[in-house]
């Protein structure tokens, strides 16, 4: 793969695993998987994930239309737990994320989206045409607890990473109050603002958990304005390499101090 190279010839992999599409009510309507992929390419990103609120269709679609694009894709979703904590789930293949999709339908209250208030939830097809409007209130809390959801994601072979953990709403901090070091999370995510404020870099730990960040883009123009970087010696290019990398850092939790 042709990664961008800086002056010192050290290759850097640019990663953004938190992007919303038009299928999230809060996402801009022009955020089709096609437009997201194009913008990621133009921005020089190497690895991305679409993570819509309790919805998987566009995450799968972008991996199907990727074809010759240099941008690699991980299948993802941003789930809302019973406690209203946002939890990012990443999956190894289409079968496992489709199973997650079925569980979402099982746990999501059957309430209608008020599009005039929350925004539309538009579904695009392979040709980039709008084919459906999802009418369920997707950002609703799933009727499953945080601990149970983490177990379910792991059962499906996925990674469970609480999103924007210090944010004032829909986070571990706002809904639970503290980050339990005994939790089974594979990593924790900081918002871009916390990541910059704390001067984080990949490999850092919080309460023993590897830290990542994401743009949480809701507008096309946001894509590429924030990402985290990994030197290519770690070679994070897909789900398996991400999982391996996070496990490796986590094992080091016993030998390195947290900050």
**Residues engaged in binding Zn ion (CB under 5 A):** 78, 86, 163, 216
Residue sitting closest to Zn ion (CB):
86
Of the pair 28, 216, the CB lying nearest Zn ion is at: 216
Of the pair 17, 249, the CB lying nearest Zn ion is at: 17
Closest distance of CB 190 from Zn ion, Å: 12
Closest distance of CB 174 from Zn ion, Å: 11
Closest distance of CB 164 from Zn ion, Å: 6
User: Nearest CA to 44 among 75, 6, 100?
Assistant: 6
Rounded-to-integer distance, Cα 240 and Cα 176, Å: 30
Under 8 Å between Cβ of 140 and 164: no
Rounded-to-integer distance, Cα 161 and Cα 189, Å: 7
Under 8 Å between Cβ of 32 and 128: yes
Of the pair 193, 235, the CB lying nearest Zn ion is at: 193
Closest distance of CB 4 from Zn ion, Å: 26
User: Nearest CA to 186 among 236, 231, 235, 253?
Assistant: 253
Of the pair 186, 216, the CB lying nearest Zn ion is at: 216
Q: Which helix (H) or strand (E) holds 100?
A: helix 94-107
């Amino acid at each position: 793969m042709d990664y961008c190279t800086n002056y010192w010839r050290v290759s850097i992999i640019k990663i953004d695993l938190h992007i919303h599409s038009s299928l999230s009510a809060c996402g801009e309507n022009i955020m089709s998987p096609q437009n997201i992929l194009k913008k990621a390419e133009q921005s020089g990103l190497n690895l991305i994930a679409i993570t819509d609120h309790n919805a998987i269709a566009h995450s799968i679609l972008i991996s199907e239309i990727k074809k010759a694009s240099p941008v690699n894709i991980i299948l993802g979703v941003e789930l809302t737990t019973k406690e209203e904590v946002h939890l990012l789930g990443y999956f190894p293949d289409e079968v496992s994320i489709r199973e997650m999709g079925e569980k979402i339908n099982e746990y999501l209250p059957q309430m209608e989206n008020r599009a005039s208030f929350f925004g539309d939830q538009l579904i695009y097809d392979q040709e980039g045409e709008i084919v459906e409007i999802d009418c369920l209130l997707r950002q609703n809390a799933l009727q499953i607890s945080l601990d149970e959801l983490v177990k379910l994601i792991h059962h499906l072979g996925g990674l469970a990473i609480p999103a924007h953990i210090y944010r004032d709403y829909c986070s571990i901090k706002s809904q639970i109050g503290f980050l339990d070091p005994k939790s089974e999370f594979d990593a924790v995510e900081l918002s871009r603002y916390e990541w910059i404020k704390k001067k984080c870099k990949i490999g850092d730990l919080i309460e023993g958990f590897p830290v990542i960040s994401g743009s949480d883009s809701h507008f096309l123009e946001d894509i590429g304005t924030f990402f985290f970087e990994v030197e290519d010696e770690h070679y994070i290019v897909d789900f398996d390499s991400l999982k391996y990398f996070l496990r490796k850092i986590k094992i080091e939790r016993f030998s390195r101090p947290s900050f």
